[in-house]
A and B are shown apart, each in its own frame.
Chain A
Amino acid sequence: DADVTQTPRNRITKTGKRIMLECSQTKGHDRMYWYRQDPGLGLRLIYYSFDVKDINKGEISDGYSVSRQAQAKFSLSLESAIPNQTALYFCATSDSHRGDNEQFFGPGTRLTVL
């Protein structure tokens, strides 16, 4: 089945470490997104990309960077992790050629920064 996958699924790291979260999709969608989810706050958009050459900041991009290596791959980096970046991170995709009405999410990466 066409899918959205994320690696790693869980990660514990220390303050100051550089971390990369990977997202891959086999759906053939052009648009990809990174969100974080915190209790009581809902999902918040970190970065989004509408194609390989297009990268845009979301609501909470400070402390994060992204790379769209190919249409199917979108990675999120924390250059120097801090404890308040502890959260559940989701990658999502959508298809602008089919009305863009639904975003499809990966299974999430649970990140803990000590």
Chain B
Amino acid sequence: RKEVEQDPGPFNVPEGATVAFNCTYSNSASQSFFWYRQDCRKEPKLLMSVYSSGNEDGRFTAQLNRASQYISLLIRDSKLSDSATYLCVVRRPGGYNKLIFGAGTRLAVHP
């Protein structure tokens, strides 16, 4: 079983749609959680951290459920520019900033 699992997609949605991505992780001692965005053939970039209480950044909302070891990302009012691969990332315990990356969920927003 992979340490971080995501639905690979692709999710094909029209502009203006709301779309949600899910991610599960296997190590219950994991400490920190993130969503990174990766455009085609480009480097990953941090989209947002995920906090236990849930957090929002504009059209993006991240949720964490530690009991179920589950992370989600909700994108409201999708834009064409949101088309990318979204990587679920978990930091292993131990203080060495070792990040475990999911394989990513691909989103395609069409007009």
Chain A residues packing against B (C-beta within 8 Å): 31, 35, 40-45, 48, 50, 56, 58, 90, 94, 96, 100-103, 105-108
Contact = CB atoms under 8 A, between A and B. Distances in A.
B99 interface: yes
Nearest to B95: A100
Given A45-B98, A90-B43, A105-B43, 7 more contacts: A45-B99, A90-B44, A94-B97, A103-B46, A103-B97, A103-B99, A107-B43
B43 A40 contact: no
Contacts of B44: 43, 90, 105
A42 B23 CA distance: 13
Contacts of A94: 97
Interface stretch (B11-19, B59-67, B73-81, B101-109): B101-109
B71 interface: no
A41 B49 CA distance: 22
Contacts of B96: 48, 50, 56
Interface of B: 4, 8, 32, 34, 41-46, 49, 87, 96-99, 101-104
A56 B98 CA distance: 11
Contact of B49 (A45, A48, A101): A101
Nearest to A58: B98
A105 B103 contact: no
